[in-house]
Amino acid sequence: MKKLLLVLSLSFVLYGCSTTETLDTSSEGIVLSEEVSSEAAETVSVTISLTDGGTVIAGSEKTVEVEAGANLLAVMRENYAIEEADGFITAIDGQTQVEETAETKAKYWLFDVNGESSMVGAADVALQEGDVIVWNLTEM
C-alpha cells in the first residue's frame, strides 16, 4: 500500500512539473503565418515573345517575373491583350489569326516552350525559371 501511495504521489509531482504549450490562435498569429507562406512563394523569370511567320513582332518581347508553376494562359492575360475563342487564343496584342479563304492561307497562334512545340494548351503549361515562350502566328 505504501508503494502505491508513493507511486501516486510521484505521478502527481511529475504531472505538476510538466510543461504545457498552448496554441496561439490570435489574429496576429494567423497573419504571421500568411506572411511567411507568401514570402516562401518562389518567383521565376520567363521570357515571352511574339513572331509572325518567324519574324519577331517589334516590342512584343517581355521578360516577366511570375510565381513558379504559374499558368501560361493566366500570364498571357496579365501581360498581353488577348482574345480567346473555344479555349484557344485567337489574337494577341491586335495580331489576329486568319481563317483560310480562297485568297489566303490560314494563320493560327501556336507556341513553343524552350524551343519545343507545345503538346498541350497554354492553360496546361506550368512556367519554370528561365522558360522561353515564343508565340508564332503560323501559316497552315
Number of folded domains that form the chain? 1
Kindly report the pTM of this predicted structure. Answer: 0.69
* pLDDT value at residue 87: 80
Question: The domain spanning residue 51 has which CATH number?
Answer: 2.170.130.30
Is residue 76 situated within a structural domain?
A: yes
Is residue 36 situated within a structural domain?
A: no
Is residue 23 situated within a structural domain?
A: no
* % of the chain exceeding 70 in pLDDT: 71
Give the model's confidence band at 86: pLDDT under 50 very low, under 70 low, under 90 confident, else very high: confident
Is residue 10 situated within a structural domain?
A: no
Q: What is the mean pLDDT of the chain?
A: 81
* Cell numbers 493566366: residue: 74
Contact 70, 123 (CB under 8 A): no
Q: Give the range of the structural domain holding residue 94, as residue numbers without chain letter.
A: 43-139
Contact 96, 76 (CB under 8 A): no
Contact 120, 88 (CB under 8 A): no
